[in-house]
């Protein structure tokens, strides 16, 4: 195996993979030799992101799906399998943020955040678990947040979704570890992206999307007899 391409011959699906953290993760996995399926809500955006990876010499395909819709998730995984074969890596990165006191959140907004940030992870993981069990190996990596470890006024539904994602991840890890499937969660602090500028913080001190991608790379190259169940990712200096 080419040591510079440790993921050669493997296929990865990255949800929320068309920009920011997700695109940085897809780039890193592609650099390591994986063929990549990038999913976003907008097909044109997904295809544009995939074209960028192909320009870098990677095999990449863009797909549109709402991860909170089981039929769309099933179609996404089916299309990714047709394009790339069985999936070795799933990165559940798709998510949305909404911040308000819990008693002021509308029911529709509560459902939208929970359906994307928590139900979506469950649906995507469920859709790929069978093929990973059949092969006896695989990685499922959930991108959470330090919000899943803390509490804040105005956190409401977003923090609840991330606390729930922690619990789902740990239970899935126990369900699947006997099948050779490693389920991990990455909890970054504030990450500087063009879509999440975090007003008032110094961008130069914030985490960058590539920092999260580096953590993903570490997880998927872990020695086979062990797995890292959780990564807490913070900037060296507080922004």
The secondary structure of 200-213, three-state, reads: CCCHHHCECHHHHH
Separation between Cα atoms, residue 120 and residue 97, nearest integer Å: 14
Q: Active-site residue among 63, 122, 158, 159? A: 158
Which residues does 78 contact at the CB level (< 8 Å), separation at least 6? none
> DSSP label at 118?
I
Which residues does 98 contact at the CB level (< 8 Å), separation at least 6? 105, 109, 112, 113, 156, 157, 158
Backbone angles phi, psi at 233, to 5 degrees: -120, 120
Say if CB 42 and CB 18 are below 8 A apart. Answer: yes
The alpha carbon torsion through 191, 195, 196, 201 (nearest 10 deg) reads: 90
Separation between Cα atoms, residue 189 and residue 184, nearest integer Å: 17
Q: Which two tokens stand for residue 76?
A: 């996404």
For residue 159, indicate whether it is catalytic: no
The β-bridge partners of 207 are 191
Q: Which residues are catalytic?
A: 158
């Amino acid at each position: 195996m080419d040591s510079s391409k440790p993921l050669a011959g493997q296929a990865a699906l990255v949800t929320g993979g068309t920009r920011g953290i997700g695109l940085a993760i897809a780039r890193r996995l592609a650099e390591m030799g994986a063929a990549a399926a990038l999913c976003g809500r907008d097909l044109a955006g997904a295809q544009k992101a995939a074209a960028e990876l192909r320009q870098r010499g990677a095999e990449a395909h863009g797909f549109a799906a709402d991860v909170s819709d089981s039929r769309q998730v099933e179609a996404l995984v089916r299309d990714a399998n047709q394009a790339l074969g069985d999936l070795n890596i799933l990165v559940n990165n798709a998510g949305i943020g909404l911040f308000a006191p819990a008693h002021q959140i509308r029911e529709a907004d509560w459902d939208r955040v929970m359906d994307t940030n928590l139900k979506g992870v469950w649906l995507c993981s469920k859709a790929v678990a069978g093929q990973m069990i059949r092969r006896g190996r695989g990685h499922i990596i959930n991108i959470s947040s330090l919000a899943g470890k803390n509490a804040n006024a105005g956190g409401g539904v977003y923090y609840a979704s991330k606390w729930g994602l922690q619990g789902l991840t740990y239970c899935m890890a126990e369900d699947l570890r006997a099948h050779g499937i490693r389920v991990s969660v990455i909890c970054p602090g504030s990450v500087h992206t063009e879509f999440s500028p975090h007003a008032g913080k110094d961008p130069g001190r914030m985490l960058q999307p590539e920092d999260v991608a580096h953590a993903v790379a570490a997880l998927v190259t872990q020695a086979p007899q062990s797995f890292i169940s959780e990564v807490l990712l913070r900037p060296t200096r507080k922004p």
